[in-house]
Chains A and B, each alone.
Chain A
Amino acid sequence: GAVVSQHPSRVICKSGTSVKIECRSLDFQATTMFWYRQFPKQSLMLMATSNEGSKATYEQGVEKDKFLINHASLTLSTLTVTSAHPEDSSFYICSAIDRPIYNEQFFGPGTRLTVL
């Protein structure tokens, strides 16, 4: 099946720094990518929908200036957590849809962010 990668898989940073997470579709073109976050013992929460070449659509309650999403190509979307704080520590997961293959969604392995 199709593969989606995320980099890095784990990152630890100091409070106040910015962290960029990359999501790549390796063998297909993803017109749409999604970003999720998951707090411990909680369900995945959709943060934003990212369409190639256009601005991301953020879910209610998600700060777009805090979580910058760029989907500059059909195989790459990036999520930048700006001025990270400890409460931003979470598991971030991206997924991608390859529209020609009947809307099946493929997930990345996730990035665990820890902000000290």
Chain B
Amino acid sequence: SQQGEEDPQALSIQEGENATMNCSYKTSINNLQWYRQNSGRGLVHLILIRSNEREKHSGRLRVTLDTSKKSSSLLITASRAADTASYFCATDANDMRFGAGTRLTVKP
């Protein structure tokens, strides 16, 4: 079964715009992580947010976590063509399970 489920499945924006992706999960967690995956490449860890945190920043990334709604969002500000990739959230419930991912396309 999948623990994290990203929304939308696909997102296409222009360079410079902001991109927001959402993730929902089902059970209690210790932390939630966001990853990116370029086509044919391994996953790259972006950011981890713990269950007692509500918001976290890393460069152009902003992650929020709402444990009452069991949801998280990833905001990429001032997007670049190089941000084109698939983005996954994963939760920790004794193991890590991924959703289907959001495929982000940033057009130059």
Q: Which residues of A are in contact with B by a Cβ distance under 8 Å?
A: 1, 32, 34, 36, 43-44, 46, 49, 91, 93, 95, 97, 102-110, 112
Tell me if B50 is interfacial: C-beta within 8 Å of chain A. yes
0/1 per residue, B77-101, Cβ < 8 Å to A?
Answer: 0000000000010101001111111
Tell me if B64 is interfacial: C-beta within 8 Å of chain A. no
For B, the interface residue count at a CB cutoff of 8 angstroms equals: 23
Contact B99 A103 (CB under 8 A): no
Contact A44 B31 (CB under 8 A): no
Interface centre among B33, B40, B95 (most CB of A within 10 A): B95
- Shortest CB-to-CB span from B97 to chain A, Å, is 6
Q: How far is the CA of A91 from the CA of B97 in the complex (A)?
A: 17
Contact A49 B95 (CB under 8 A): yes
Name B92's contact: one of A43, A103, A107 (CB within 8 Å). A103
